[in-house]
Amino acid sequence: MRDVELVAHDLAADETRAEIERRWGKRAVISVAFALSASRFFPTLKYALGHGKACTRIVVGDAIITPHAASAA
């Protein structure tokens, strides 16, 4: 179950969930659900506490480096 499928409520998540259950059982589905939930929790908490600033400028020595956004593939 890819995180993108789950967040987008994609129907492919149902197929992936069924495959996980078929291979490893219901406990594996629960484990994946907790792992996906936890992976979304920390960034949200960090942002809510004011530490989730976007990287817009990095200073290394005297040089200022501006990161470029990754292209969507």
DSSP string, 28-70: HHHHHHHHHHHHHHHHHHHHHTT-------EEETTEEE-PPPP
In a domain, 13, yes or no: yes
Residue 22 has pLDDT above 90, yes or no: yes
In a domain, 73, yes or no: no
Q: Decide if 17 is inside a domain.
A: yes
Residue 69 in this model has a pLDDT that exceeds 70: no
Domain containing 42: what range?
3-65
Residue 48 is which amino acid?
A
Residue 72 lies inside a defined structural domain of this protein: no
Radius of gyration of the chain (CA): 18
Residue 56 phi, psi dihedral angles, 5° rounding: -115, -20
Whether the predicted pLDDT of 53 surpasses 80? no
Contacts of 40 (CB under 8 A, 6+ apart): 3, 7
Number of domains in the chain: 1
| The pLDDT of residue 21 | 96
Indicate whether 60 belongs to any domain: yes
Whether 70 is in a domain gets the answer no
